[in-house]
Amino acid sequence: QVQLVESGGGSVQAGGSLKISCVASGDTSTYSMGWFRTAPGGEREGVAANDIDGSTTYADSVKGRFTISRDNVHTLYLQMDNLRPEDTAMYYCAATPRWRVTRAQSLTPTNYDYWGQGTQVTVS
């Protein structure tokens, strides 16, 4: 069983930066992990994913602005630069066993088994 806890959200002006974190309880060394977001009135969408081999995948809307990283088996980060008002959303960390998801599927929320409670990011 994996439990995920996000932190680091907040309010920032457009063009600013924010770094959010996700700490996992349990060994996620064999898990793919990702960041997802839900904007007000919208559906959950994939933002960025990180596989155990270090490969990363990004949504087109955040490429060149967001960077996903994992510094050990327990912590996942999302560095967000040049933030835009349309990035305003609740951001969720998620994890799933590596065998459950291919790189092409890594931004699809339904492929993930474990979810955090979310951290709010507001860009004005």
> pLDDT tens digits, the chain, 124 residues: what are they?
899 999 999 999 999 999 999 999 988 889 999 999 999 999 999 999 998 888 999 999 999 999 999 987 689 999 999 999 999 999 999 999 999 898 889 999 999 999 999 999 999 9
Q: For the CA atoms of the chain, what is the radius of gyration?
A: 13
Res 104: pLDDT? 86
Contact present, 87 and 74 (Cβ < 8 Å): no
Confidence at residue 20, expressed as pLDDT on a 0 to 100 scale? 98
pLDDT of res. 53: 85
Q: What is the pLDDT of residue 71?
A: 83
Contact between 3 and 63 under an 8 Å Cβ cutoff? The reply is: no
Distance between CA atoms of 88 and 73, rounded to whole angstroms?
28
Q: Which residues, 6+ apart, have CB-to-CB distance to 64 below 8 Å?
A: none
